[in-house]
Amino acid sequence: MDRVIFGDNQFFGIDHLSEEKGIAKAIKFKESASIINVLNQVYDMGIHTFMCTTHEKMNDICDFYRENSDKYGDFKFYPCMPYAHKYANAATEHGLFGALKYFTKGHMISAFTGGLAASTGDMTKIMQVLVDAEMRAFKDLNTPVIFLQNVVTDLLLGMGATEFFTAFAAHVKKKYNAEAGFITMNMPRLVKILNEIGLEKPIVCSSINKIGFRMSGGISAYEDTIKANNCRPIAMQILAAGALSPSEAVDYVASQENIESILFGASTISHIRQTKELIERAS
């Protein structure tokens, strides 16, 4: 994986420190063209991996990069699924079975398979159908890692439903020749479980910062897990929602030698460039 990965929170109104700032960012990036403009500049400065949710706007963004593959052919996408708000809204409006049909609309085989899975209660098959539905937007794009969002990862972890982790990893490998990635708010516990069920050196994305922001289990447990080198960590939320300066945040993460990649998002080109340069200097 690349050392520097660009994220998408700022494009869709997510700000862990201020709801007001999040709304302002959502307005700024209301049009897909404004997002593509930033991504093109990010690409030009040498960041060639974009980790993104499966928000509806990604359809336009993926269309652009498919149509311009001659210029951006080495641009990598790391899809993260499911996009929880989208599914929650669909389930509220259409019901569970109706939501399945909604997300597989226009694809008779997927719709049939999804309906059969829902009627028989085959949750693994439902997972596969929904992954395939989400991945349609990324057709013919470079998606070497496909992530399970923390809202599902940590729910499954808490329920002890570890068979879904192996099923997810097997499906994305077989269908998309991709590695499975897992986003979590409890990296020490997740890595332990993934290793126990046979997923060696899994790709795990988690909050990693010097003050323990959103790090369930505590800083020491995270540092021990990283030092053990039993996973391939991606550090996110390194600024702890703005509580840390970029320089001290990057210095701390860079001091954890086995962290493979650093994920960050920013809404201005100057902040993106500054953070990228800090990471590269500290690495």
Q: What is the pLDDT of residues 145-164, one digit of tens each?
A: 999 999 999 999 999 999 99
Residues 6+ apart with CB under 8 A from 116: 122, 125
pTM score, two decimals? 0.88
Q: Tell which wins on pLDDT, 85 or 181.
A: 181
What's the pLDDT band for 102 if we cut at 50, 70, 90? Answer: low
pLDDT value of residue 97: 57
> Is 209 a residue whose pLDDT tops 80?
yes
- 14 lies in some domain: yes
User: Which secondary-structure segment (H or E) carries 25?
Assistant: helix 19-28
Q: What percent of the chain has pLDDT over 90?
A: 73
- 122 lies in some domain: no
pLDDT value of residue 29: 81
- 212 lies in some domain: yes
- 243 lies in some domain: yes
User: Per the structure, how many domains does the chain have?
Assistant: 1
What are the tens digits of pLDDT across the range 134-145?
A: 999 999 999 999
What's the pLDDT band for 244 if we cut at 50, 70, 90? Answer: very high
Domain range enclosing 57: 4-84+143-282
Interatomic CA distance for residues 263 and 49, integer angstroms: 10
What's the pLDDT band for 93 if we cut at 50, 70, 90? Answer: low
- 45 lies in some domain: yes
pLDDT value of residue 109: 42
**Structure tokens, 87:** 């599914």
Interatomic CA distance for residues 120 and 109, integer angstroms: 16
Q: For 43-59, what is the mean pLDDT?
A: 96
- 135 lies in some domain: no
- 71 lies in some domain: yes
pLDDT value of residue 30: 85
27: CATH: 3.20.20.100
- 115 lies in some domain: no
pLDDT value of residue 124: 85
